Each structure stands twice: as C-alpha cells, then as structure tokens.
Structure 1
C-alpha cells in the first residue's frame, strides 16, 4: 500500500480528517495551531480524505501553502477499501482515518493526529515533542468517562450483550485499568516504535463492532504502550461536559477544572458544535477562526 514521504526535517507533521462538509472546521483547527506557532516552527499538514472537490483543496492551499506551513492531501480510499470498516451506519467514515495513520505514515518518525473539532491554544511542536522516544503513542486519559466505572453505566445491548464499562474495557479491549483508557481527539503516533503487525491490526479490527469504534481499537492495540501527555492537551468541552465533570472523583475533577481554566487544546466533543449552535467558553474563539477560513472559499 502506498505510503507518504516525510516532510523536510524543519517541519512538524500534523494530520487531520477532511471532507467537503467538514473542511471549514478542519481548516479552523489548523488555523488555531498556525496562530500559536513558536518562532521558527513550521507545519506540514496532511489532510486525509476520500475524494475532495477541487475548490476545497484550493481553499486549503490558499490558507496554508506559505512561509509557515505546507499542505498535502492524502487519499485514504485504498486503505478504506482494503480493510472495509463495518458498522458505518453507527459512525462516520472519517472516524476510521486515524487507524490508517500507522500504515500511511510508516516512513515518518512521528506525527500528530487531531480531530476536526479542536481549538489549539499552544504550539503543535510542543505536542509533537511531548512523548519519549520509547512510547508508541501519546494521548490523554478520557477523564469524563471515569465516572461510568462506578455509576452503574452499561454498554448498549448490541455491544457484547451490554456489559458494565469496566468489564468491557477489561474483557474486550484488554484495558485492565479503566483510568488508563485514553481519548483519541489528540494523538501523537511514534512511528519508529509501532510495528507493521500493529499497523495491520488497526485495519483488521475495523470489521469488528466496538462501542467507541476507532478509540476502542487504538486502546486495544496500544494499551500499556501509551505515554499520557498533559491533560490540558485535550480538554473536552461541550454539551454535558460540565455535568459529567461534577461526578468525577476529587482528584480527577481538579485536573479537569485546571485544564478548562488554561487549556492547550479544547476538544469540542459531543453535539451540537460551536458551528452548529452550541455556545460557551472558547466557542466564540473557534467561530472567529471559522470566519477567517470561510473568506478563503469562493
């Protein structure tokens, strides 16, 4: 399968999923990173897609081909056809794009992967260098899922018969400590440490029904091999997040509150999003970026 050539050494590689519909918010995510670049840092952007209108790519080039960044469009159609993710009626196709990263970018030393609903408030280079050379992947804990371990939450019946969350994590994913289950909105893949077998497993597991799709698959493959980056790199914020945080044990609640007060990256999890009507801290910051991005479209 075709792999992507690494960028020049002075560029920090960052990958995101992209569709025609999601382009404005994906480009706004990138712009938030560009606006926080430290002196001398440049980004190589890799937009993962399955066919895009020329105007979408032209807008991306207009925004990001310049002194501080370069943009590339990487078609993941071959990978998607090879592994043929199942249960697409329950999730979006782009959900699986992160699982293609270990294959498509096998020749890189490492790469940052962001979902398309992130507001960066710090330089992506700090994220890129946030994990040691021995780690396979860098991520943050899924803090807001921690209360589900003890509040009686059970998975939908269609998922392994509806077990309690802790039993599912342990039995289906091999995640022996649910506190160490990680979130997939902000990831650092350390390609030098990821084996070809693990890359292939990312694809093969796409045909198995999991509750959290790609996030569960990544946890199953990389549990015990993840370096937990600073929680401020993935502060989940959106409808229901405050309510969920109120049920956190005190130690985790403090970590969440400290992150929300000074996030390095805000993850607008859940629905609606800032661009579909949700309002709250940091939402207006993202909408201003969207306004800047939309001026690059015809």
Structure 2
C-alpha cells in the first residue's frame, strides 16, 4: 500500500529552472486546483521555485485574488491567463461530461514557447514526491512525456465498443471497437502506446507551430477523450512513455484489473513509488472519501484550508466551496 504520510521535501535534489507548472480550471475546480498546487509546494525542495499558471475562461476575480494570496511568495508565483481570445472563434466538440477546459492544454506550446519544459497537471491529482525530478527522465528529442493509459488498456481487454464509452458521435464511429478506434481514428499503430493526458510533460522547443495547428484542426472532430486523443494523434510517436509513478491512477479498479499480466506487475511495482496520484472519472476524493487513497488528497485539502483561513478568515469555505 502507499504510505499514508507525505514525504518531506529533499533539499539536496537538483533545482530545475524555467519549468512552469500549468493547470486549467473554473471556479468549480478552484479549490481542487489550489490543493494540487499546495501538494507541489510541500513535496519540492525548498530551493525549487514553483511558477504556477492557471488557464481559464473567466475565473472570478475573487478566486484569482485568493490564488495570489496563497501562492505569490518567496517559493512560488501564480499567473492567471484568460484563454478566451484563443478559443472564442473555434468550433469545439463538447458533450455533457466534457468541458472546454480540456482543450486549454493544447495552448501550452504557444503560451510557454520559451520555457525549457512545462508540466501540465489536472485538478484531480495530488503530488507525493518532487515532480521536477521527471525533467531528467525525458530523453532528447521527445516532444512530450506521459504515462500510458491503464484504463483504456483495460477497456480494450474487455472488448469495449465505442457505443459503450461515448455519449454521442457519428454512427460509423460508434460501431467501432475501442481497439479499432485507437488505430483508425486516433491513428496509433500500437494502441498500447496510448497515453493519459492528466499529467503531460511538454518540451516546447521540440514542438512546431504546425504541430500546434494540427492539434487545433482536430478540435471540432468527435472524439472520445478529445484533448487526450488529439495529443496522441499528433505526438504519439514522439512521446516518451514515463513510468506509471508520474500519473498513478486510482479509480476504475475493475477496468484496470483487466490489464495484461506484465502491465499489472508494473502497476503494482510502481505503487510504492507513486509521485502523482490521479482520480480520473466522476469519483473524486473530495466527493467520495471511499475512493482509494482519498485520505491523501483530503489531508492536503486540510492543509490548504489552514492557509485559506490565514488569508481569508471566517468565510474561506464560502469563497471556495468544494464541488
């Protein structure tokens, strides 16, 4: 089992320069997003500066002010970037369980062109170890670093059809098996290389303007997991697959239980080394404390609350309600 206590920062670890951390969320996920940032600060060396950036489409001013109070300081900064000018003219494929925010990570190579590297994190994660350590794990020439998707592999193992997993789409797409969808629509010769986009390590210097344009050219097209599928389509063969510890998924255990034996051995070996815990899907730890390792996220949420009480006493829970 994963250790219940969060590891202390290791002051002897190398400091990484010019590597911003990017997230994208609305008010509904602001508390969760700030919790993720708190976990980054608590698990990185004291000498490591954390430059947080939030991509949004109209996050209320009071939430932004709280973010500045929480994360503008000697060890970190926070910048809020309104991305509406980049998306207002675009036709985006959306369904009832997907939001526009998922597309925001596609802007990272443009907005952070001069960064050595960029780490993107979803809001349903918590960091348990220094995430900047992954910088050395990416070989030269790789555009992205990401972790292969156990949930997708389990769904393929059970013979899932697109009609089972997708709200709506073209009839010919819904008739495909998930395995055929990965090959014929996403365009992967080897569907086992399909990666999860909850944590993505970007190397902007390796990504061209034509790569970015190719991503946005696909934003209107029906896809099961649009941003994730688009990144797999454009960068699939230029993505370095990182160890599972950098995006350790804790939900959908029945599906993950169907992955091949060699995948399962790796999954179990990585458990004790997990640096980033991830709860994709509807069962979030702040909504359902019965999900695996929910207490790790909830404990970090309590630590965030302590800081919120300092910067916004008496009404901090009303300002950022858990959703």
- Aligned residue number for residue 158 of structure 1: 169
The CA deviation at 1:88 is: 4.4
Correspondence for 2:137: 130
Q: What whole-Å deviation, never above 9, does each CA across 1:248-294 have from its counterpart, x for those lacking one?
A: 21100111122233311100112221111232443112112222324
Using the TM superposition, give the Cα deviation of residue 185 of structure 1 relative to its aligned residue in structure 2, in angstroms: 0.7
For residues 144-163 of structure 1, give each alpha carbon's deviation from its aligned partner in whole angstroms, at most 9, with x where no partner exists: 32133342211027351320
Aligned-pair RMSD on alpha carbons? 1.8
- Pair 1:103–1:162, CA change in 2 (3 A): farther
Greater displacement, 86-95 / 111-120: 86-95
Q: Which moved more, 1:100-109 or 1:31-40?
A: 100-109
Q: Alpha-carbon deviation of 1:107?
A: 2.9
Residues 1:257 and 2:288 are matched in the alignment:
no
Name 1:197's counterpart in structure 2.
Answer: 210
Following superposition of structure 1 onto structure 2, how do residues 54-133 of structure 1 map, counting pairs within 5 Å? 54-133=61-140
State the 1:39 CA deviation. Answer: 4.1
1:244 aligns with 2:251: no
Cα distance between partner residues in 1 of 2:229 and 2:235: 10
Write the distance in 2 (CA, Å) between the matches of 1:225 and 1:126: 20
SS at match of 2:77: strand
- Give the SS at the match of 2:23: strand
C-alpha distance in 2, partners of 1:162/1:209? 14
2-structure distance, mates of 1:11, 1:199: 21
Please report how far the alpha carbon of residue 38 of structure 1 lies from its aligned counterpart in structure 2 after TM superposition: 2.0
Paired residue total: 288
Structure 2 residue runs without a partner (length 5+): 1-15, 317-323
Q: Is the 8 A contact 2:19 2:116 kept in 1?
A: no
Secondary structure, counterpart of 2:286 in structure 1: helix
- The answer to whether the 8 Å contact 2:19/2:117 transfers is no
Q: Which of 192, 206, 220 lines up with 2:233 in the alignment?
A: 220
CA distance in 2: counterparts of 1:58 and 1:222, whole angstroms: 36
Q: What is the CA–CA distance in structure 1 between the aligned matches of 2:97 and 2:128, rounded to whole Å? A: 32
* Residue of structure 2 in register with 1:210 after alignment: 223
Residue 109 of structure 1, CA deviation: 2.8
